[in-house]
Structure 1
């Protein structure tokens, strides 16, 4: 996700926020092509140069995701040229502690999947398995190795989302032209309202400038999961960050990441 602009813009007229439908898949894929998350950009620098290829890849997994009762995708849509256009999205899962074990949480259904009418289904997209290997997903090896270390750090740290009832925010994005208009905040606050009603926390794992966005909404970083990498994929220590090293910043070609948590005020 690209971080919303700090400049305030008018709210888009006629914007609606609702659950994603199968017919939204092509437009939702367009959004993800235009606003890839910073972790993907750090590892795969050619993504933005291959929009058609990436659109096909996104359509493939989105078809399944919108029909998965354990994944709730919410979208912000506007009417453009007589059609609804997805300009923002969030993806949610819900975990509940297994009453039998009393220790581990499991993903549960968040919504009921309704039968898909032919008129409400998205058009087929050619995903020929004999196509050439992805050019968009040619990685920067140093950056990919760095992100692998980041994932290892996350997996080695105690993961509270796996041992408590909670919501997990799995994805959040807004089209660049619609950033700074409160769309990402609205999509996130929907989950915050649900979590507050149920008295459970929200966990999210992300990278880059979006961490600051979550921080402004009251999320806090879990210190044991934080990592920083520079443009060459080298580790930057927490002490170096505290003493002014800024080579990990996106503007310098680096990246940072962490798991964050939001806890309702009454919990």
Structure 2
């Protein structure tokens, strides 16, 4: 069994009120997971790419919330993923205000994380996957626009293939999600959650990769990430003709356009 990490040192200079903790299925009680789902659904309510993929999500809030539970529930059981929750103390009470999930990827992963897994957790993981597959079959999300979902999935697949081709990125950390309660934004919380991954990258000698929205690019750049290329699955190009699910044919349209970014630890430059 592995429990939450102890209170961290300040993750961002001048932001000593932010505490970061790692949670797993063992210590993620329903009150906490409900709070994290509330944060995610609120923060992504008006996100362009989520809105395009799930255009009628406001009519089906239970399905939209369950989609985030499917992500989070799986990540809490996956030994390759660290779920990092940010807390601040508000009127003497520790309040969860955001979270990020970082996944170790590559051929060296199984050996590196074997201490984070056990037979019981594997069984829980398999049961969770079976339950969610059955639930998705019986109660599909009515707000899902599958052509757009498939297009965005291809974008993530393309960036992952690009990572595999990069020197020294055979094993790397990937930021799966970063989310902060809108009521607590602009207080250094997102930066603290990003720097957790950067610090792990430096400590373990692992590069990092992520797909950033235009709004999120600033904080990643501040933490040392650099843009490699744009991510755009919703507009046609000479190599990618128009198909259902795309947003428009307007040249230069920035709807849903993001950035593929990487962080390379300083030790790599010394090799």
TM-score, structure 2 normalization:
0.65
Aligned residues: 223
Report if the CA contact (8 A) 1:95-1:107 is conserved. no
Q: Which has the higher contact order (CA 8 A, sep 6+)?
A: 1
Q: 1:152 to 1:165 in 2, by over 3 A?
A: closer
What SS does the aligned partner of 1:222 have? strand
1:235 matched to which residue of 2?
A: 236
Structure 2 CA distance, aligned partners of 1:152 and 1:63? Answer: 22
What SS does the aligned partner of 1:94 have? strand
2:116 matched to which residue of 1?
A: 112
Report if the CA contact (8 A) 1:72-1:111 is conserved. no
Q: Identify the structure with the greater helix proportion.
A: 2
Report if the CA contact (8 A) 1:207-1:255 is conserved. yes
Structure 1 CA distance, aligned partners of 2:20 and 2:184? Answer: 14
Q: Kindly indicate whether residue 212 of structure 2 is the aligned counterpart of residue 206 of structure 1.
A: yes
Q: Kindly indicate whether residue 16 of structure 2 is the aligned counterpart of residue 16 of structure 1.
A: no
TM-score, structure 1 normalization:
0.66
Question: How far does the alpha carbon of each residue in 1:26-70 deviate from its partner, in whole angstroms, 9 at most, with x for none?
Answer: 111111111126432332233345333322332344233223222
What CA RMSD, in Å, does the superposition of the two structures yield over aligned residues? 3.8
- Give the one of 140, 155, 171 matched to 1:150: 155
- Give the one of 37, 62, 69 matched to 1:29: 37
Q: CA deviation at 1:86?
A: 2.5
What SS does the aligned partner of 2:266 have? coil
Q: 1:145 to 1:199 in 2, by over 3 A?
A: closer
Q: CA deviation at 1:82?
A: 9.1
- Structure 1 residue runs of 5 or longer lacking an equivalent are 1-9, 99-104, 117-126, 238-244, 249-253
Question: How far does the alpha carbon of each residue in 1:110-131 deviate from its partner, in whole angstroms, 9 at most, with x for none?
Answer: 8736999xxxxxxxxxx89486
Q: Kindly indicate whether residue 66 of structure 2 is the aligned counterpart of residue 56 of structure 1.
A: yes
Structure 2 CA distance, aligned partners of 1:50 and 1:112? Answer: 36
Report if the CA contact (8 A) 2:104-2:173 is conserved. yes
Report if the CA contact (8 A) 2:214-2:257 is conserved. yes
Q: Kindly indicate whether residue 97 of structure 2 is the aligned counterpart of residue 87 of structure 1.
A: yes
Q: 1:157 to 1:17 in 2, by over 3 A?
A: closer
1:65 matched to which residue of 2?
A: 75
